[in-house]
Amino acid sequence: MHVLSYCNCISNAIQLSVSAQLEAQEEFEVAGVSPMVSLRIPEDHLMELDRLVGFDGMRNRSDVIREAVRRLLASPLPGQGGRVEVDLGPDLTIRLSDYCNLVGESADVVLRQSAREYIRKELTQGATVEELLTRRKDELRSRFDDDSNALR
């Protein structure tokens, strides 16, 4: 019985090894020449990685890990400005691209300037950030109070 179990373990290990080699060959062909990095992660993290395979064009664990590393490296370090990722949708993406080509600026410059202009406009209309927040909290409070009164 132990010999059979041992053979199954060896068979599984060989299958995993062959799968890893095939995945490595596929990555080499797709990603070009890039260094290989080995790491150890807990089994529950590995299961979560496997769960993400197949989403957003990620074909294997390596694609998932590369995307996670890309996102980590794209996030700001403490003390630097914040970073926001926004899905613009197809129509706004095209319009932003056309505008950037027209004015000769990058999308991040245009979006940063747009945010500054939007905030400046709100503040010059007589309301400070604190006043805007207070108004919004009061709105939400009154809406909550109205809902709670309706339940009684």
Model confidence at 129: pLDDT above 80: no
Yes or no: say if 89 and 97 are a contact pair by the CB < 8 Å rule.
Answer: no
Residue % of the chain over a pLDDT of 90: 11
User: Residue 92's pLDDT is what?
Assistant: 92
24 C-beta neighbours (distance < 10 Å), count? 13
Q: Considering the chain, what is the average pLDDT of its residues?
A: 76
Separation CA 152–CA 137 (nearest Å): 23
Angle (CA) 80 84 89, round 5°: 155
Q: Which residue has the higher pLDDT, 90 or 20?
A: 90
Q: What is the band of 144 on the pLDDT scale with cuts at 50, 70, 90?
A: confident
Which 3 state secondary structure label does DSSP give 99? helix
Of the ranges 14-28, 85-99, 129-143, the best mean pLDDT one: 85-99
**Mean pLDDT, residues 12-34:** 54
Q: What is the band of 150 on the pLDDT scale with cuts at 50, 70, 90?
A: low
Separation CA 122–CA 66 (nearest Å): 40
From first CA to last CA, the distance across the chain in angstroms is 68
